[in-house]
């Protein structure tokens, strides 16, 4: 059995010790972990620590840090998924699968053909739920960090942020010349950050693609088949991780 | 608006004419397509025909074939997804997304750690439903053929069939040496058929991986993150299509 893994706040790791509280401490007792047994503590920021349990009680548990484990589950490319608000529970699918596939951040935004137009109150609730899904997915797939899920206030701010990556890919079904592969190949080795921008059910408008290109993003194709709005970001992310040797 | 597209039996296309019956003929009348207007007829075997409507009535419709359209939406690699029976409705996700991503066939099988063990009656109903999902997904994403969804009687027959492809990839989370990418690169250009074999929720047993290797499949890794059983085949398929230039 692999060592049990606990995500705790980075502020609870100091002086060679990790302090485990609340639900995690309870979970530790449920697992019947004894003093001297080993566990992994993860600060959710990319660092894993191999620890030995020194005490465990109703108030919490303490563990001594044996060594820092270099995280092998984090990809070496910082991939951000920018997805237009989809209908129904597709956003949840996008969050869960993007985390598994190695995204570092997932951001939703509104574009012209978005059918889903949640109001501010609904968005606050959704963000809470999406971040919870991200945390669960990160734990399940063994990631060392929990990708943040956020939203953009407008299409324009999305473009501004997405274009800050080394490579900003704007997936547009009417782009027939530039493919994702040719664009990645042209960028050469050592790609460190990529933004993947995908549209809603009905795709992007031409003027949105034009604006994106002016903002520094590259309109690219994902091939001849029309992918659903929740499939496109996952396909692009899998291809990116494959290209950058992060599926090895 | 793109031309309406109808999938009809290949046996209904002959003598330069396409004969549209039943529900499709009804759908044609709902669309109010008039004599002389154009439509696409697809035989579900990879051939598209541009047609002109010559007659339409309650008994059916006839359309004259103007030209054969080479299908650009079909990948040039024959990819078969062999997935162990998953729990719940994950099989439906696998079918829908595999069709979008370009699989030519999807096959479910039973392996040792499968929790889902449907009986024969349940499987017949499921197969019907899965093939319907495949048809809908094929139409939606613009494919020229409808991938068949099938099942294997045993793990052994699965291995026998999966190993008939030029390259049989057996995804196993305990394989740490061989990656999918290195295996595809070693196979060189011109890969024409690939089997993608993925496990159930709990993964494969070691002896299953050994048997698979003896049968000619190659145990490979999909990276350090543990993918869910419905994510793994989609990730592998996206990577394969990317590698073989079928996302261009």
The ipTM (two decimal places) reads 0.85
pLDDT at B179: 95
Give the gap in angstroms from C-alpha A220 to the nearest C-alpha of chain B.
9
Q: What are the residues facing B18 on neighbouring strands?
A: B13, B63
CA-CA distance, B222 to A142, in Å (whole number)?
14
Give the pLDDT band (50/70/90) at residue A95.
very high
> Coil, strand, or helix at residue B41?
strand
User: Do A96 and A133 touch, CB atoms closer than 8 A?
Assistant: yes
A174 burial level (CB within 10 Å; 0-12, 13-18, 19+): exposed
> Cβ contacts (< 8 Å) between B248 and chain A: which residues?
179, 181-182, 221, 223
Q: Which residue of B has its CA nearest to A239?
A: B239
Please judge whether B247 and A235 are an interchain contact, meaning their C-beta atoms are less than 8 angstroms apart.
Answer: yes
> Cβ contacts (< 8 Å) between B100 and chain A: which residues?
225, 227-228, 231
For A223, which of B224, B243, B248 is closest by C-beta distance? Answer: B248
Q: Which residue of A has its CA nearest to B102?
A: A225
pLDDT at B171: 98
Percentage, residues of chain A above pLDDT 70: 99
For A239, which of B180, B228, B239 is closest by C-beta distance? Answer: B239
pLDDT at A72: 77
Please judge whether B101 and A245 are an interchain contact, meaning their C-beta atoms are less than 8 angstroms apart.
Answer: no
Asked if residue A1 has pLDDT above 60, the reply is no
Could you give all domains of chain A from N- to C-terminal order, each with its CATH number? Answer: 5-69 (2.40.240.20), 78-243 (3.40.1280.10)
Please judge whether B247 and A142 are an interchain contact, meaning their C-beta atoms are less than 8 angstroms apart.
Answer: no
> Cβ contacts (< 8 Å) between B222 and chain A: which residues?
247
pLDDT at B114: 94
Cα distances from B131 to residues A27, A36, B122, B150, B154, in angstroms, run 43, 54, 14, 8, 20
Q: What are the residues facing B196 on neighbouring strands?
A: B81, B169
pLDDT at A131: 97
Query: Could you tell me which of B102, B37, B30 has the C-alpha nearest to residue B73?
Result: B102
Give the gap in angstroms from C-alpha B57 to the nearest C-alpha of chain A.
32
Can you read off the two tokens belonging to residue A37?
């047994």
Percentage, residues of chain A above pLDDT 90: 76
Count A/B contacts: CB-CB distance under 8 Å.
110
CA-CA distance, B112 to B99, in Å (whole number)?
26
Q: Please provide the DSSP assignment of A199-231 as one string.
A: --TT---HHHHHHHHHTT-EEEB--SS---TTH
CA-CA distance, A101 to A134, in Å (whole number)?
12
> Cβ contacts (< 8 Å) between B241 and chain A: which residues?
223, 235, 239
> Cβ contacts (< 8 Å) between A182 and chain B: which residues?
248
Residues 6+ apart with CB under 8 A from B216: B163, B168
Q: Which residue of B has its CA nearest to A238?
A: B235
Q: Rounded to the nearest 5°, which phi and psi values hold at B186? A: -65, -30
> Cβ contacts (< 8 Å) between A231 and chain B: which residues?
97, 100-101
Q: Which residue of B has its CA nearest to A71?
A: B224
Summarize the confidence of residues A42-52 as an average pLDDT.
86
Average pLDDT, chain A: 93
Q: Which residue of B has its CA nearest to A176?
A: B248
For A248, which of B100, B221, B243 is closest by C-beta distance? Answer: B221
Give the pLDDT band (50/70/90) at residue A149.
very high
Give the gap in angstroms from C-alpha B120 to the nearest C-alpha of chain A.
31
Please judge whether B142 and A224 are an interchain contact, meaning their C-beta atoms are less than 8 angstroms apart.
Answer: yes
> Cβ contacts (< 8 Å) between B228 and chain A: which residues?
97, 100, 140-141
Could you read off the pLDDT of A158-209 as tens digits, one per residue? 999 999 999 999 999 999 899 999 999 999 988 999 999 999 999 999 999 9
Q: Which residue of A has its CA nearest to B233?
A: A238
pLDDT at A186: 96
More confident residue, B171 or A59: B171
> Cβ contacts (< 8 Å) between B220 and chain A: which residues?
none
Please judge whether A247 and B223 are an interchain contact, meaning their C-beta atoms are less than 8 angstroms apart.
Answer: yes
pLDDT under 70 in chain B at which residues?
A: 1-2
For B180, which of A100, A224, A247 is closest by C-beta distance? Answer: A247
Give the gap in angstroms from C-alpha A246 to the nearest C-alpha of chain B.
7
> Cβ contacts (< 8 Å) between A246 and chain B: which residues?
223
User: Do A184 and A191 touch, CB atoms closer than 8 A?
Assistant: yes
Summarize the confidence of residues A240-244 as an average pLDDT.
97
For A235, which of B140, B224, B238 is closest by C-beta distance? Answer: B238
């Amino acid at each position: 059995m692999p060592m049990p893994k606990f995500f705790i706040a980075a502020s609870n790791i100091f002086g060679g010790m990790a302090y485990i509280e609340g639900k995690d401490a309870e979970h530790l007792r449920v697992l019947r972990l004894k003093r001297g047994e080993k566990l992994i503590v993860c600060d959710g920021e990319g660092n894993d620590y191999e620890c030995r349990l020194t005490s465990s009680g109703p108030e919490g548990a303490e563990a001594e840090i044996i060594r820092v484990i270099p995280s092998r589950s984090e990809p070496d490319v910082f991939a951000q998924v920018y997805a237009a608000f989809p209908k129904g529970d597709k956003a949840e699918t996008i969050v869960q699968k993007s985390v598994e596939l190695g995204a570092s951040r997932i951001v939703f935004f509104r574009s012209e053909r978005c059918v889903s137009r949640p109001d501010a109150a609904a968005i606050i609730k959704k963000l809470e739920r999406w971040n919870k899904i991200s945390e669960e997915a990160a734990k399940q797939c063994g990631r060392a960090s929990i990708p943040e899920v956020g939203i953009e206030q407008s299409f324009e701010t999305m473009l501004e942020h997405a274009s800050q990556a080394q490579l900003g890919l704007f997936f547009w079904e009417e782009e027939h010349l530039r493919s994702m592969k040719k664009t990645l190949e042209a960028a050469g080795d050592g790609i460190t950050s990529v933004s993947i921008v995908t549209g809603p059910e009905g795709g992007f408008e031409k003027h949105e693609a034009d604006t994106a290109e002016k903002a520094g993003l590259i309109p690219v194709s994902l091939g001849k088949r029309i992918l659903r709005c929740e499939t496109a970001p996952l396909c692009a992310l899998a291809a990116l991780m494959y290209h950058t040797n992060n599926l090895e």
